[in-house]
Chain A
Amino acid sequence: MKGLDFLKKMNDIDYEFIEASNNYKKNRNTILFRWTAVAASFIIMAIVAKVIYPGNNHSDSLVNESMVISVNGKNYECASIDKLIQYGIVTDIGRGITEDVDYTATADECGQLIGSVDVVIDGKIVKGRAYKHICNNDDVCLVEYPDNVYKIYVIKEK
């Protein structure tokens, strides 16, 4: 057998080569360096991606928390009673529309449709439609949730 003869005849290779291959240990520093390089690469990729795609300026943005949404490049937060008072939306504190209170809007109150948003509710992503609130400018929007309830969002201060 040609191959086996060859293997047999290469039996007398230098002892030092055999010892070296038997005692060879992968340098742990090399492994650590490699993993560090991989981790660094991911970080650089994430930073580059963030620079190239700073955020979605379109209405179909995905927010990870339903308390904050992004519509047309602007971030809105679900209005607290204080915010509603500040924007003059609520005159009767006893009847406010807050992040805790669902609200059913009339067609007049909705105003112009300015986009749709994905919002997370109880871990599920649902689609909502955002309207420019009739009572105010772009600083206030009304979001219609799938089950026909509405919440008022006001522009998020930076």
Chain B
Amino acid sequence: MEDNYIVDLYLARDESAISRSEEKYGKQLRQIANRVCNDHQTAEECENDTYLKAWNMIPPHEPKGYLFSFLAKITRAIAIDRLKEMTRLKRSAELVELTTEIESAIPSGIDVAEDYNAKELSRIINGYLKTISAEKRNVFIRRYWFMESIAEISKKYSISESKIKSMLFRTRAELKVWIEKEGYTV
């Protein structure tokens, strides 16, 4: 079903919008949440919370043409919050590896929690992502936004794991320099 039609259902306050969203994107949203929380039940709760939040956000939002990323952003944010709140959730080795990796892109002396709000950091990252190739950008987003493993990205994009690792290494190093540069002007 077309995304625009589902968005129209939300806008018309038709509850079938939720079942249509679940039908089309439920599996992907659960995967995103599960990669963060490493717990199927919590991932399902995150997915359900996503539909509720989307229901409340549309309108005023009208994510025509980007419904998936709109829902995925909500799921991802809920899952990360849930992970931070629930100490019972055991962080997967993959997530620990991933967070350690991304820390290498953070310039020393910067406290991410204090120094940047989400909009500022996203603006800086968006600026950097516009300067790199589509392939590098996609790999970066699959890894640090969708939190996919190197093996998953390799399979999805038909690129060797070693190439992905070196691509990510260079991207992190460049991003670090970019943040440092941008950080002075913020």
Binding site for B on A (CB under 8 A): 1-22, 24, 26, 31
Contact = CB atoms under 8 A, between A and B. Distances in A.
Contacts of B134: 20, 24
A4 B102 CA distance: 9
A7 B112 CA distance: 10
Interface stretch (B11-19, B41-49, B52-60, B137-145): B137-145
A15 B98 contact: no
B5 to A, nearest CB: 17
A8 to B, nearest CB: 5
| B interface: dominant SS | helix
A6 B69 contact: no
A152 to B, nearest CB: 56
Q: Assign chain B's interface to a size class.
A: 35 or more
A19 to B, nearest CB: 5
A11 B73 contact: yes
Contact of B112 (A2, A21, A24, A31): A2
Given A4-B99, A21-B145, 10 more contacts: A2-B106, A3-B100, A6-B102, A10-B122, A10-B145, A15-B63, A17-B141, A18-B141, A20-B138, A24-B156
Contacts of B101: 3
